[in-house]
Each structure stands twice: as C-alpha cells, then as structure tokens.
A and B are shown apart, each in its own frame.
Chain A
Amino acid sequence: ITARIKRTLPVRGPQAPTLSELMRWYCLNTNTHGCRRIVVSRGRLRRFIWILLTLSAVGLILWQCAELLLNYYSASVSVTVQFQKLPFPAVTICNINPYKYSSMKDYLSELDKETKKALETFYGFSEGKSKVRRSVDERNSTGSEFFKQIPLLKFEDFSRTVIDLHSGQKRKIEGSVFHKDSSIVNSGDSNDIIGFQLCDANNSSDCALYTFSSGVNAIQEWYKLHYMNIMAQIPLETKEKASYSADDLILTCFFDGLSCDKRHFTRFHHPLHGNCYTFNSGENGTILSTSTGGSEYGLQVVLYIDEADYNPFLVTSTGAKIIVHDQNEYPFIEDIGTEIETAAATSIGMHFTRSRKLSKPYSDCTETGADIPVENLYNKSYSLQICLHSCFQKAMVDSCGCAQYAQPLPPGAEYCNYKKNPNWMYCYYRLHEKFVKEQLGCQQICKDACSFKEWALTTSIAQWPSTVSEDWMLRVLSWDKGQKLNKKLNKTDLANLMVFYKDLNERFISENPANTLVILLSNFGGQLGLWMSCSVVCVIEIVEVFLIDSLSIVMRRQWQKAKKWWNDRKRERLGKAPQAGDLERQGHDNPVCIDEDLPTFNTALRLPLPQDSPLPRTPPPNYSTLRLETAFTEQLPDTLEAGQH
C-alpha cells in the first residue's frame, strides 16, 4: 500500500528536503541570469561578487520600475493647427452705462441729492459748476432714513473723530477700521479721509469702518452700495425697459459681407451693465461661421453711445464694453470685458485657441462641473468664474439670508434690500472680505474646467470718422436713426467696432497621456530584461519557489521535528502522553495551513514509515541534478521511475 501511494504521489517539482537545496535547485533552473552564476562559480570571492552583482541588478530593477510607476501619470502636450471654417464666437456688447439716466430719475433722485449734498459739504463742490442740470424731485422717500443710517463720514486724523454729513457734529466712533487701500498707501498722514461705517443692526457696537484715501473712490463705492439697494427692489421688466434697446444701441451691423440687424442680437440682462446684446448667441440653434478671415468678413457694428444720458456717479468712463466668448459661456462683462472708445474705430483681430487638459488622475480639473459641490446658478456651462460666483452667492444666502444683486438668484432666495434685510450690507462686506482672503473655501472647492476655448484678441484703434468723411457719415447715420431721434449725432456718441478672425487657423492644445499601460509594461519588460533577463514567468517562479515551496519546506520540517519530539517522549515516558504535545501537534498538523499540493505528501509522511528507512525526513528528490547525488534513489524506485518518464 505504501509503495502504491508513493507511486501515485505527484512528487514532481522542487520538493527539496531543505531550504538550501531548494535555493540551489532554483538557481540552477531559473530563467533569470545571475543566480546560476552564483551556484556555478567556484571560489568564495567570485561567488561573493556574483551575489553582489545579482543583488544590485535586483535593486536597480526595483528602483527603475518604481520610477516608471511614479511617472506613469504624466502628460505630454501636443499642439495641432488646423485650417478650417471656424465657428464665429458670440460677441456680447454692452453700454458702459447700465440704464438711461433720464428713465431712472425717479428711483435715484434721492440718492443723487444725498451725493450732491455730500460733495458740497466735504469739498465745497456746488451744483452750478457741473453741467448736470436735472431737477431733483423734492420727494420724501422712505429711503432717506437709510441714507442717514449709513452716511459718508469724514475722519479727522486717526483720532476716530468723524464729522457726520447730516448733523455736522463731531463724534467718536467705535469699531474696527477697514482701510480699503491701506496696503498700498499709508493713509495715516492724510488729513481728510473719507469713508463710511457699517454696523451690525442687532448689535450696534459691532461696526466696520471703511476708509478710502481718495474721495473719488469713497463716493463711488458708497454710491454703488446704495444703488444696488435701490436696484434690488425694482422688478426686472422695469429695469429692462429703462435700459437701452437694441435699436438704441446698434446703429448698423454688417457680418460676413452681409447686412444684419437687431434680430441677430439676443438681449441679455446683466445686473450691473443693464441690457447687453449678444451677437450670434446660438439661441435659435444656428451658430454662424466664417470661412474667410479678414476685417471685411467679420462683424462690423456702429454703436450709439448716448453720452448725455449717463449716470454721473455710477460710471465715469464713456464707451462700450464687449466680450468675445463661446455660445455656452456666460459673459462676465464686468470682469473680463474689453472697453471700446467712442469716436474711434476699434478693430479686434481674433486668434482661436482650444485647449484640453486631462482630468483626473493627471490633473485636478473638472469636465462638466458635476463633481463640484457648488450649484451652478448660471444657466451656462461650467467655468471657474461661474463656480466662484455661485459659491459666494450661496455663502451670502446662507449667512445673510438674501442674495447679492450682481449675481443670479438661487432658488428660493431674493435680492437683498435694506427694507427686508437691514443688516445685509454689513454682512456682505464682511463676507466679501472673507472671500477675498480665501476664508470661505470657495477657491479650494472650485476647480478649473478641463477644456476651454480662448480667443486671443489684438486690439487696435483708428480715428473714425476721418475728418473729411465726418460730415456725410454723421448725416447719413443720423438719417438711419432718424425715425426716432431728431437730433444730429455727435461723433463722440458713436463707436465703430470690427471683430474678425485674423486667420482661420485653429490652434488646439491638448494633453495626452504620456504613458499607456502597454508602454508601462514594455518599459518594465525592458528593465527586467536588461538587468536580469527576467520576465513575468520569472516572477511567477520566484513566487512559487520563495513563497510556496519554501513555506512548505519549513512546515514540513517543523512537522517532522514535532513528530520526532513526540516519538522521543513517547519512548521515554511510555504512555504518559503530555497534553502540551497534543497542542503543539495541532498547531503543526493543521491541514489548512498547508499548501494545496502538499497534503498528499504530508499524509504520505504521516503514514508509518518502512522499518528499513534510516532517514525519514528526506523525501524523494526528483530533479535531474540531485538525482545523481542522492543516496536514497533506490529507496523509492517507483516514484523515481514515474519521474523519469
């Protein structure tokens, strides 16, 4: 029976009796170079050198492969230039002045009166000198209370004594002082500092003081504050009506050699710039494209800027603002608009660049913005700007209870105004301060978009109309406008704008993964092969030999030791089997611990050994090199026979 079991045992493979035998077998039979040299070499020094070389080769492989792995997520950039028909971008045009001053008179008269009063009190500037000559209604409005609550203040030195605009009295004020421009100018030496104070309505001791080194900034900032208050209360329809209509703004329009008119423009109401008009907004589903570069084939518009109807305090420059953007992008006119001069022809040559970054794990950008925890309040595709504004608006609604006027409304919120939220200004300024100092976390949450389109603009200006053509040009343009306007146009009311593609080369900058898995594996293979002529097969070999086989050898030897010890004890004490031995045996005998291949072998060993076998610990080696040397080949002829075949 013993012989039969032994015969059927799968005793192929490296069933070396000891670990050193196993290593020897491995070194002689492995596919990797180096190991064989260690075994084959004669002489200690030589063997030592070979061990050193093999180990350093292994080290090099590990180092290089680690390097390869670390550099796996790198990107290479490719730039392609393609000459093709290009989609014309959307061009949004706004008048710098948001609303006609004449039509906003009713709402703003109180504020203007207050501003003029402040000017008069602080600077001795009287109305008579200015050319502003509108009659101010002497209406008592509920707002005047509020103007008194947040008045302009004049500071005397830094003694925190202020002159109140209304009472004219000096008083001490409390509160932390915010210098709007303290980091740039040391305003300490100035005598007249103008600013305003914002207090927490519930707790009047908690005040913030905003000071400016120049009265120009102070008055504009103060005016804007109250202006936003007022605008927040006016319904959108009224505001749209009070702003410029397409007919007002656009005198002539010419695109790609063909005439266009207001139907090609889409109205878009911007909270700070009033009615803006977007050319080629793609609203009706078609996006115009250009197949020829050059100024004749782009967009040519003559704009009517009604300078006389400007709000004197809100805007101090004249002209229009334009922005070139993609149809899906929200135009952030106030942030990145280009200003257009009046009485001049502004020619804007565009050069189109499209960029694409790789998203995770190559870089930290977002494809659609869906993975950003900030709700997109704008009805347009994601951009960093949109995210920041939405994030701020959200924080504003959360902490102040109402929404800021310049940004769109989140659902369920309404714009701040001092009737409902008397505290909002203070809250807003505090929040804005935090936002700028990156304490709100918006800058950390928002990521940049992975792909974006960019139109690089080259702006140049020429005089327009030229002195000799001025006469007829103005006459004809007045006639064009004629139906509604009965006055002759002035050239400072007009701006000529040309937007065109300089060339139809689209530059596409894209990141590509520098490595693919295939290339990574090739590089691994190259490294393994270069240093040791190794492959995955070798790796499997190593796993097999060093983990499975050596583990099994160790287990086997332990088992045998335990058994021997057990037998010795048995022989000595004759029947007095100690409990400890049982426990120990269980530990070694646990069949779960032993490798799949081995139980058969172990069971074989557990069988009563033949009496004539002097060394039970050695199993039959079956590999060719050992076969010649082992003394016990004759012991198991059957298995050996099977092995040979």
Chain B
Amino acid sequence: MNLKKYFVRALHRLQKGPGYTYKELLVWYCDNTNTHGPKRIIKEGPKKKLIWFFLTLLFASLVFWQWGILINTYLSYNVTSSLSIGFKTMKFPAVTVCNANPFKYSEVKDLLKDLDRLIEAALERILQPMPGNSSENPSLSLNLKLWNQIPLVLIDEHDKDNPIILDIFESNQTVGGKQTPVGNETPGSALPALCPQCSQEGSDNCTYRNFTSAAQAVTEWYILQSTSILSKVPLQERIRMGYQAEDMILACLYGAEPCNYKNFTQIYHPDHGNCYIFNWGMDEEALNSSNPGAEFGLKLILDISQQDYIPYLSSAAGARLMLHQQKSFPFLKDQGIYAMAGTETSIGVLVDELERMGYPYSDCTNNGSDVPVRNLYSQYNTSYSIQACLRSCFQNHMIELCGCGHYMFPLPEGVNYCNNEDNPGWAYCYSSLRSSIRHRQICIDSCKETCNDTQYKMTISMADWPSEASEDWIFHILSYERDMSTNVTLDRNGIIKLNIYFQEYNCRTISESAATTIVWLLSSLGGQFGFWMGGSVLCLIEFGEIIIDSLWITVIHIISWCKGLKQKRARTRYPDAPPTVSELVEAHTNMGFQHEDAGAVPRDETLPPEPGTPPPNYDSLRVQPLNVLGPDSDAE
C-alpha cells in the first residue's frame, strides 16, 4: 500500500500540470495560450462564446488545410526560370567542318570499281526497259557476287495479286514470286522501282523494301553496298582516303590572328570521312571571344573539290559544318548545316544555354554516369550527350541482335563491323532493327538529357563569293599557296568562304532555381498560422505540452479508477461508493463553465455573493483538489 501511495504521489508530482481534470486543463490552456482564438472562448459571453468556439475551430481547420496545400506544393519541386540576355566574353564554340563527301573518289575508285560498273549497268537496264536494244557486252565483266547478295529488283504491280518481280540482270526469267516475298506491299498500281532486299541465308526469307522512286532505291542500295565494302578497310587507310587538312582548309583567320590547318583536330566521322575541329579544347584551352561582329570571329576558306566526289554516294555538294560545345562529339547528321560552294556563308551565333537543376527537380543527368547505356563515344574522350547515348544504344542493340556493329557508329571492344561476307544477313537485320519502333522507344526511355544544355542558334546569310571581278586573283593565290604552282587548281564549284562570329547579344541563359525552398515553406507555414490564429512554433509546443498533461491526467484517472474498483471489491459492505477523483475535482473547479446550464442557476444563488473576489485562480485551486484527494487516498 505504501508503495502504491508513494507511486501515486510521484505521479502527481510529475504531473504538476495546470489542472487535474480535462476541463480545468482546457480552461487553463485557453486562458494562457498565445494563439488568439481560445482566449476569446473563455472571455466572452455565452452567445459569443459559441461563436468564438466555432470560429476557432474553423480557423484551425483552415490552417491545417492550407498547410497541406503548402507542403504538397513544396513536395512537387517546382522550379522557376530566370532568363538573362546579353553579351559576355564566352568560349568560342568548337567548329567542325567536313566535306559532304567522305572519300576522294580517286582514292576509292579501285575498291568501288565493281560496284560502280554494276550500278552503271543497272541504271542502263532501268532506263531502257527494252532489253533487246541495249548491248549485252559490258555486263560480262560484272561482279555478280555483290549483286546476288542484295539484288535490285523491279516489281510490276499492274496485277495486284500477282506482282511480277523483275530482277534487273536476269530479266529473262521473270520471277512470279507470289506470296513469299511480299513484305510491305505497295498498292500503287504503277510500275515502281522497288529495291533490294536482303535475304537471310536462303532466298525464302525475303522481304522487299519498297521505294517509290528509282533514284532513292539506287542511292540506298549503293550506300548499303559501299558500307559493306568500306567497313573492311582499316581505319588508317580510310583516313588516308579522305580529305586531308592541308588540301581542304586553305585559309584561316581567328579574330586578327592567323591560324592554319594545324590548329584543327582531325577526327574520323563515319558519315563524312575526315572532319576537322577548330577549338575543340581537347589539348589546349578553349579560345575566348570578347567582341561581337565578324571581325572578331573565325574566317575560313575551304576547298571541297567537287570533281572528286563519289557520284552515287552523296548527291548534295557542299561543306558540312557544325557548332558545338568543347569536348563534345559532333553529330553532323542531326545538327549540322550545309555551306554551299561558290558562296560566302556568314553565321551569327547566339549561345542558348539552359541550366537545369538535377534530381528531384527534373530528370536529367550531369555526366551520364547514371544512364544504363554503355557510352561508346567515350573512346573519343568526349562528354556525354543524348545523341551519343541514342547511338550507343542502337549500336548495342545491333551487336546483340545481328552479331556485328554498324559502320556508322563506334565499336565496343572485340566486335567487328558488319560486312556482307562475314555477316550475310546483316542488311536485313539492320533494316528491321532500324524500323523497329519498339527498339527506338527503349532507347528513348533509357537515355536522359543533360542538365546543362547548350545550343548555338545560328543566323545564316549567304552571298556569292568570289565576285566575278576578284575571282581570278583569289583563285590564283589560293592555288599557289596550296600547291606552289602557278596553275589555277580551284574553281567556283569547290570553294567556300565561312564567317562565324558572335552576335551583338551572344548569350541567352535560362537557369532554373527552386521555386519552393525549405525557407519558403517555413515562412509560408508561419504566415498561415499567424494569419488565421496568430500562432507560432511555440504555440505548437504549448499544445504538445497540453497533450502530455492530458495524458498524465488520463493515467491518473485510470489509476484512481482501478483503485476505486479494488475498493469496491474490498468494501462491498459499504453501500455508497466514495466519490471518484474527477467528481470531486469537478465539483470544485468548473463553476466557470456551468453557470449557463439551467440547473446551475439555483446553485449560484445559494452561493454567497462575493463582489470583490478576483476570478478563480486555477493554480490556487489546484491545491484544493490535492487536499480532497489526499485524504481520499490516505483513507485507503
């Protein structure tokens, strides 16, 4: 019993709160809290009390609702963008120049000899559909081995159900390929030139790739064949066959400083052969440009020697150039532009930068290390870009499915490029992969864009160059400088002038910043709480304290209830149960709350009028219940 008594006392001491009942506690809280609403509930008359009670409830729920909205806003990680435009000293972009034609025809003629003769003969057949009047003699020397791997055919679809497939070189035997070959049908009833298709091992599994134009068909066919041939040539040899820097770059001027072909870094690009990059920043520091205008930019004179083009490979003539960031790989097919021969092309550059915040604000990558695709372009020492990722992804798929790499993309270790001899079905495999939407989607999904995206917006203008009056001496000097000969070896069809410079406003930067920071969140939360209820964090702590207090009260109640139960059992002979703690406390303390009850009025009247007494101080009242309780527990 002693222990129990001691325990109860200890509880009381621990509690030391503002009251022994919930009501008392609440009244105390309302009177003393710093939040604005509850005080009014206590202070006002009965009608207003009710109003204030509901107002406080309403405001409290408003606060919680708004807090929910604010926290949601914060967790959505919005960003705001700020835009700045102006001129500042910036790194001059890396400039890649290539010839649209990858190799000098004079160098690759031997390799492509068979192919060229084949295509010439094929064209002859196509253009003169009557086989009788064309002479059959030159076709004797044709290398039909190449042809048989990927033949070029004509499909006559006058009769839709039975398309007649006409192999150009075996026109005598008209193949009535009824059902087997129809891969993608062409409902056009005319006679389109339909082209190669690639057999997989046997001739049964064939699909025909249809073209509506013979020109396209011939070009595609030639590209397929020539890639296969050239992929067998070692890289060194291919570089030698391409255009050399000293032949291509005739003059170079950066700002006021002269430069020459040695300032360019050579890179082998599968589409365009040898490409030369100015200011790539791989070995030395990138150049800065601190002035706008053509005078302070890069001026180049290029020779593309159009006479030496491979006739069937590329039909467009000109230089291909691209502006890109330092240490990034130039993807000329995507972002490159043409410069026409015989013209001066001026390119005003505006650097459009986009700086984004990474996770969780937006889904982008800083250096590509978190992208699940092996970056094959890292062998060039270049930085990650989305184009590199997509191409690597394609090449990885290609190696996986076809067993060899495509000639246009870099190779991983231990894999070879596809060629017709080692991988006879590669063309078929490649075409199906290329047209497969599913594979593309996989690549799009797995690649992420970079967080800092720089684009070069170009304003392109052109003029004829050289002018008729100056033509003679310009050609003369340039020829002399290149070959040390007095003969003019250049002509209008091969010469290009380029001016690349910053515009007056050379940079536009869009940078992201978090719209909602933790500071923003806190001040907004505080603002809401303050606006509706005048509360602060301390008020929350107060509230927490009250909850702890009420917990203590609950504990005390439970204990005394348990005690009461025991007493009941122990003293069943006593008919009247002793008053519980709460009853006693209530009887003494909550007069302030009961006056509005109808029953309370008479009781009020019984009390002696005490005009001068101050409002009940709950601290002093607390002593009273203790005394009441004391004897009660002591009596036990």
User: Do A473 and B315 touch (CB < 8 A)?
Assistant: yes
**In the docked arrangement, what's the CA distance between A144 and B497, Å?**
54
Q: Which of B312, B448, B534 lies in contact with A83, CB distance below 8 A?
A: B448
Are B317 and A462 within 8 A (Cβ)? yes
Q: How far is the CA of A25 from the CA of B403 in the complex (A)?
A: 92
Chain B residues numbered 305-342 whose CB sits less than 8 Å from any CB in chain A: 306-307, 309-312, 314-318, 331, 333-335, 337-342
Instruction: Tell yes or no: A77 within 8 A of B by CB.
Output: yes
Shortest CB-to-CB span from A625 to chain B, Å, is: 11
When distances are taken between beta carbons in the complex, the residues of chain B under 8 Å from A525 are: 526-532
What are the interface flags for A622-640 relative to B under an 8 Å C-beta threshold, 1 for contact and 0 otherwise? 0010001000011001101
From B333, B453, B460, B604, A460 is in contact (CB under 8 Å) with: B460
Cross-interface CB contact of A77 among B81, B213, B307, cutoff 8 Å: B81
| CB contact under 8 A between A522 and B215, given known A12-B45, A79-B354, A79-B510 | no
A292/B390 contact (C-beta < 8 A), A13-B45, A633-B612, A634-B611 known: yes
Contact among A302, A469, A537, A640 with B534 in the assembled complex (CB-CB below 8 Å): A537
The smallest beta-carbon distance between A6 and chain B, in angstroms, is: 14
A41 interfacial by beta-carbon distance below 8 Å: no
* Residues of chain A from 422 to 468 with CB closer than 8 A to chain B in the complex: 456, 458-468
Q: Mark B432-448, 1 if CB is under 8 A from A, else 0.
A: 00110100110010011
Q: Contacting B66 at CB < 8 Å: which of A347, A518, A533, A541?
A: A518
Tally chain A residues at the interface, Cβ within 8 Å: 95
B530/A537 in contact, CB under 8 A: no
**Bound state CA distance, A475 and B314, in angstroms?**
16
Contact A479 B317 (CB under 8 A): no
User: Please, how many angstroms separate the alpha-carbon atoms of A460 and B434 in the complex?
Assistant: 27
On whether the beta carbons of B340 and A463 are closer than 8 Å, the reply is yes
205-238 of chain B: CB within 8 A of chain A: 210-216, 218
Q: CA separation between A254 and B215, bound complex, in Å?
A: 11
- Chain A residues closer than 8 Å to B310, beta-carbon distance: 468
Tell me the complex Cα distance, A354–B337, Å.
24
Q: Does A377 contact B (CB under 8 A)?
A: no
- Cβ-defined contact, A624 with B615, below 8 A: yes
| Bound: A79/B364 CA distance, A | 14
Q: Contacting chain B: which of A98-106, A293-301, A365-373?
A: A293-301
Segment at the interface with A among B11-19, B32-40, B131-139, B409-417: B32-40
Question: How near does chain B come to A478, taking the closest CB pair, in angstroms?
Answer: 8
Residues of chain B within 8 A of A295, CB atoms compared: 333-334
- Shortest distance from the beta carbon of B52 to any chain A beta carbon, whole Å: 9
- A533 lies within 8 A of B48 (CB): no
B45 touches A644 (CB 8 A): no
Residue in chain B with minimal CB distance to A10: B45
Contact (Cβ within 8 A) B444 A461: no
Answer yes or no: A344 CB below 8 A from chain B CBs. yes
User: Across the interface, do A537 and B36 meet the contact criterion of CB distance under 8 Å?
Assistant: yes
A376 contacts partner chain B, Cβ-Cβ < 8 Å: no
CB neighbours of B386 from chain A (8 A)? 83, 503-505
Q: Is A112 part of the binding interface, using a Cβ–Cβ cutoff of 8 Å?
A: no
Q: How far is the CA of A512 from the CA of B79 in the complex (A)?
A: 10
B40-83, CB under 8 A of A: which get 1 and which 0? Answer: 10011111100000010001000000100110010000111101
| Residue contact A536 to B532, C-beta cutoff 8 Å | yes
A472 sits at the interface (CB 8 A) = yes
Q: Is A121 on the interface with B (CB-CB < 8 A)? A: no
Whether the Cβ atoms of B609 and A503 lie closer than 8 Å is no
Q: Which of A201-209, A255-263, A274-282, A313-321 contacts B (4 or more CB under 8 A)?
A: A255-263
Give the interface SS of chain A, mostly helix, strand, loop or mixed.
mixed
Is the CB–CB distance between B315 and A252 below 8 Å?
Answer: no
Question: For window 578-607 of chain B, which residues contact chain A by CB distance below 8 Å?
Answer: 591-592, 594-595, 604, 607
**Which residue of the partner chain, among A13, A466, A534, contacts B44 with CB atoms under 8 Å?**
A13
Chain B proximity of A272: nearest CB distance (Å) = 27
A79 and B512: CB pair below 8 A?
yes
In the complex, are the beta carbons of B80 and A78 less than 8 A apart?
yes
Interface of B is mostly: mixed
What residues of A have a CB within 8 angstroms of the CB of B356 in the complex? 81
List the B side residues contacting A535 at CB < 8 Å: 36, 530-535
B36 x A257 contact (CB < 8 A): no
A291 interfacial by beta-carbon distance below 8 Å: yes
Q: Is the CB of A518 within 8 A of B524?
A: yes
- Contact indicator per residue, chain B 514-554, by CB within 8 Å of chain A (1) or not (0): 01000000011111111111111000000000000000000
The answer to whether A292 and B532 touch across the interface, beta carbons within 8 angstroms, is no
Q: Is B188 an interface residue (CB 8 A)?
A: yes
* Cβ contact within 8 Å between A505 and B449: yes
B126 sits at the interface (CB 8 A):
yes
Q: A458 — which chain B residues lie within 8 A by C-beta?
A: 337, 457-458, 460
Check A468–B524 contact: CB distance below 8 A: no
Q: Determine whether B555 belongs to the interface, using a CB cutoff of 8 Å to chain A.
A: no
Are B333's CB and A476's CB within 8 A? no
Cβ–Cβ contact A529 & B462, under 8 A? no
- On chain A, the residues within 8 Å of B510 by CB distance are 79
Asked if residues A502 and B335 are in contact (CB atoms below 8 Å), the reply is: yes
Bin chain B's interface residue count.
Answer: 35 or more
A:493-508 near B, CB below 8 Å:
496, 502-505
Q: Does A345 contact B (CB under 8 A)?
A: yes
Counting chain B CB atoms within 10 Å of each CB, which of A296, A345, A518 scores highest?
Answer: A518
Question: Is the C-beta of A305 less than 8 angstroms from some C-beta in chain B?
Answer: no
B604 and A645 form a contact (CB under 8 A):
yes
Q: Give the distance in Å from the alpha carbon of A280 to the alpha carbon of B257 in the complex.
A: 50
Q: Which residues of B contact A540 (CB under 8 A)?
A: 55
CB distance from B437 to the nearest CB of A (A): 7
In the complex, A31 has a CB within 8 A of chain B: yes
Instruction: Tell yes or no: A286 within 8 A of B by CB.
Output: no
Query: How distant is B310 from chain A, measured CB to nearest CB, in Å?
Result: 8
Say which residue of B216, B434, B440 sits within 8 Å of A252 (CB atoms). B216
Q: Is the CB of A641 within 8 A of B354?
A: no
The reply on A642 being an interface residue by CB < 8 A is yes
State in angstroms the CA–CA spacing of A459 and B73 once bound together: 42
B340, B342, B515, B523 pick with most chain A CB within 10 angstroms: B340
- Does A554 touch B at the CB level, under 8 Å? no
Of all chain B residues, the one with the shortest Cβ separation from A82 is B449
The answer to whether the Cβ of B362 comes within 8 Å of any Cβ in the partner chain is yes
Report Cα–Cα, A524/B528, bound state, in Å.
8
Instruction: Report yes or no: B531 in contact with A518, Cβ–Cβ below 8 A.
Output: no
Closest to B390 in A: A292
Closest 8 CB pairs of A and B: A525-B531, A12-B45, A522-B527, A466-B317, A535-B534, A462-B318, A529-B530, A537-B36
Would you list 12 pairs from A and B whose C-beta atoms are within 8 A, ordered by A residue? A78-B78, A81-B354, A81-B453, A291-B441, A460-B337, A461-B338, A461-B340, A466-B309, A472-B312, A525-B529, A535-B36, A642-B604
B residues adjacent to A (C-beta < 8 A): 36-37, 39-40, 43-48, 55, 59, 66, 69-70, 73, 78-81, 83, 100-101, 105, 123, 126-127, 188, 190, 193, 210-216, 218, 306-307, 309-312, 314-318, 331, 333-335, 337-342, 345, 354, 356, 362, 364, 386-387, 390, 434-435, 437, 440-441, 444, 447-449, 453, 455, 457-458, 460, 462, 493, 510, 512, 515, 523-536, 591-592, 594-595, 604, 607, 609-615
Known A83-B449, A347-B338, A463-B306; further 10 A-B contacts with Cβ < 8 A: A347-B337, A463-B340, A467-B306, A467-B317, A475-B123, A521-B527, A529-B534, A536-B59, A640-B609, A641-B607
